[in-house]
Amino acid sequence: MSCYDTLIDYGLRSIGIGERLLPKTDITLCDQFVLIGSGMIWNVYFAVFAMVLGFGIATLVAVGKASENSWAAIPAKAFIFLFRGSPLFIQFFLAYEIFVLIPKVGIDINLGFATITAETRWLTKAWLGAVIVLFLNTSAYSGEIFYGALRAIPKGDIEAADAFGMSGFRKFRRIIWPAMLRLAWPSYTNEAIFMFHATTLVFFSGFPAWRQSGDALYYASYFADKTFNPFVSYPIIAIYFVSFTLLIITLFGWANKRLNRHIAPEQRVKFRFKPQFIR
C-alpha cells in the first residue's frame, strides 16, 4: 500500500470516515504519520471549542471579579479559585463521575406551558464531556488573565471616556474591552498554547473515545504497543504539536499586532512564551 492509499484510507479515520481496522503488522512510518495526524483533528476540536466558548465566559468572569457588587464578585472569585486551584486531570475524573450519575434518559425541564427533555447521554463521551471540562478550566485561567488586564488599564483612558460622556456598556465596548484585550493578549496566547497541549490529557481521562476513534495520543500509544518502539510514534506526535504551536503563535501574533496597531512599536506589549509545567 502506498502512502497515498494510506492517506485516503486513514486520513479521516478519527472522525469515522475510512477504514475501521487499524494496521497490525508491517506498520510503516507513513501509517503512523497519517493516523496520528488524523487523531490531531480531535485535539484541534477540543482546543478550538474550549477556547471559543471560554473566551466569552472569561470576559464575564473577569468583569464579575472586578465588580464592586459582591453578588457578582464572590461567585467569580470562587469559580476562578476552584478551577485554578485543582489539577485539570482531577477535574476530568470528577466531571466524568458526575456525568455518569446523571440519568442517561435525559432530564425533564418543566417550562410551565411545556416540558422539554435535555439530552444527557452524550455527556460521558469525550467529544462533549471533555470539551465542557476544558472550557470551564480555560475560562477560569483566562478570566484571571483578563482580570489582571482590567486592573492594569490606565485610569486616564477611563477618565477620558467619562469626559466624552461615555457610560455603561458603550464605555466598556469602546474603551475598556479593547484595552483589556491589548494588555492581556500576550498572556492569553500562552493560555491558548497550554490549553492545546492540555488536550492530550483527554486520552488519560475517563472519557472514552467515540467509536474507538481517539485523539493523536490514542494512535501514538497504539503504535508504541504494536511496534514495541515508542521512539517513533511519540516523536511524531511531538512534531505535530510543535507545528500547531507555531501556528497558534503566528495567528495570535497577527491578532496582537492588530490590537496594538495604534501604539508605537517600542511601547507594545510583546508575547513571551513562558512554559507552565504544572496545570
Domains of the chain: 3-267 (1.10.3720.10)
| Owner of C-alpha cell 486531570 | 89
Q: Of residues 257 and 239, which shows the higher confidence score?
A: 239
pLDDT beyond 60 at 3? yes
Structure confidence at residue 106 (pLDDT):
67
Q: What is the mean pLDDT of residues 166-174?
A: 84
Across residues 188-199, what is the average pLDDT? 96
Whether 146 and 62 have beta carbons less than 8 Å apart is answered as yes
| CA-atom Rg of the chain in angstroms | 22
C-alpha dist (Å) from residue 94 to 89, 126, 196: 9, 14, 21
pTM, two decimal places: 0.88
Q: How much is the pLDDT for 273?
A: 61
Whether the pLDDT of residue 268 is over 60: the answer is no
Closest CA to 185 of 250, 259, 244, 267: 259
- pLDDT tens for each residue of 109-153: 766 666 666 667 788 888 889 999 999 999 999 999 999 999 999
CA nearest to 92, candidates 122, 129, 119: 129
* pLDDT for the residue 260: 83
Q: What is the mean pLDDT of the chain?
A: 88
Residue 212: the pLDDT is 57
The answer to whether 128 and 50 have CB atoms below 8 angstroms apart is no
